[in-house]
Amino acid sequence: MNRYLLTTTGIPALALLAAVTWSLTILGDLPDPVASHFAADGTADGFSSPLVLILGLAALGVFLLALFAVIARSGFTSGISARFMAGIGSGSVLLLAVLLVLMLDAQRGLADATAATLGGTLPLAFGVAAAGGLLVALLTRPVVTEAPEFESTEIPLSDTSRAVWFGSARISGWILVIFVAGAVVILMTAVHMLLDAQWLLAAVLFVSFLPLVLLTGVHMRVDAQGIHWRLLAGFPRRTIPYSAVTGVSVVDMRPGDWGGWGWRIGPHGQALFFRSGEGLRIERARGSAFHISVDDASRGAALIRAYLDS
C-alpha cells in the first residue's frame, strides 16, 4: 500500500473507528430514540434508534473510505488533483466521526432526546473536518503517473461517402460494487426516514438514489449529423452538432482527476466518466470542453475530425 493511499484512508479510518467504538460504549447512557438530525438552530428535529444511527454513519463512512481508496489506487495525472481528493475524502469521513461524537455526547444522560441541542458546536465539527482534511492533503505524497500517448488515426471521407462509429463504456468491477452498495445504503436509509415520517429527508435520499441507477454507462454514435450520446437507461440523451464543435482529441481519463465517476464537472470541463482509460475530449464553440470515457476513442475521434474537415 503506497503512502498516498495509507494517509488518505488510514487517518480518517482510525478517527471513524475511534468514534464508533466510543459511541458503542455509551449506549447505556443514551435515550432511545436519540436525536439523529438537528435544525439550523441546533435543536433536534429527527430521531432514530441509537444503534441504527451509529451503524448507519459507520456504514456511510466505510462506503466513503472504499470509494476514495479506489480513486487513490487509480492514479492521478496531476499532483494538485491528488492532494485535493485526499483532503476532500479524509475531511468527509472525519466530519462523520466528529458529528457522531458531538450528537451523542449532547444526549448522554438525557431521558428524552427532544431536549438535546448542539448549540454552536456544528461549526466546530466542520472546522475540525476542514482542518483534518487540509492536514492530510499536506502530509500526503501524491502518486502521479504520466498519461499514455494514443495513436492518431485518420479516416478519409469524400463528399459522398458516409461512415458511422459506435462506442460505449460502463462501470464494472469494484466500482460497480461500490455503486450498488451506495445505492442500497441510500435506499434503506430513505425507507427508514419514510417510516419515521421524515418526508423531506426521505425525498432527498430518493432523489439522490436516481443518479446512482442512471449513471452506470453510456452509448455513443458518431455519424454525419453529429455526435450522439445516451446513458444506458436511454435518458438523458444529447446530440452535439458539428457546428458546435471546434476540435476533438483522445485523452487519458482517471477518477482522481474528476473526483469520481458519473457526470462530473471539474477544472478541465464536463465529463461523463465511467472507467479509467481513453476518452474523447470534445472542444465546443460555446462552453467548456466535454469529455466522455469510451472504448475505441481513437477511431471515434478520427471520424469526428473527418466530418469536421468535410
pLDDT in tens, 201-242: 667 666 666 666 677 788 899 988 899 998 877 778 899 999
All 3 cell numbers of residue 300?
Answer: 471515434
Higher pLDDT, residue 144 or 50: 50
pLDDT digits (tens, 9 = 90+) for 133-165: 888 878 777 665 655 565 666 777 766 677 889
Instruction: Specify the pLDDT at position 109.
Output: 85
In terms of Cβ atoms closer than 10 Å to its own Cβ (0-12, 13-18, 19+), residue 138 is exposed
Please return the burial class of 236, using the count of CB atoms within 10 Å of its CB with bins 0-12, 13-18 and 19+.
exposed
Indicate whether 13 pLDDT > 50. Answer: yes
**Alpha carbon 302 to chain centroid distance?**
31
Looking at residue 78, its pLDDT comes to: 60
Q: How many Cβ atoms are within 10 Å of 183's Cβ, its own excluded?
A: 17
Give per-residue pLDDT as tens, 78-131: 666 777 777 888 888 999 999 899 889 888 888 888 888 877 777 788 888 888
Q: Which residues sit opposite 277 in a β-bridge?
A: 253
Q: How confident is the model at residue 20 (pLDDT cuts 50, 70, 90)?
A: very high
User: Residue 228: its pLDDT value, please?
Assistant: 94
Which residue reads 456504514 in cell numbers? 59
C-alpha 204/C-alpha 10 separation (Å) is 31
d(CA 301, CA 254): 19
Cell of 154: 485518420
Rounded to whole angstroms, how far apart are CA atoms 175 and 179? 6
Q: How many CB atoms lie within 10 A of CB 238?
A: 12
- pTM of the full predicted structure? 0.60
**Rounded to the nearest 5°, which phi and psi values hold at 64?**
-65, -40
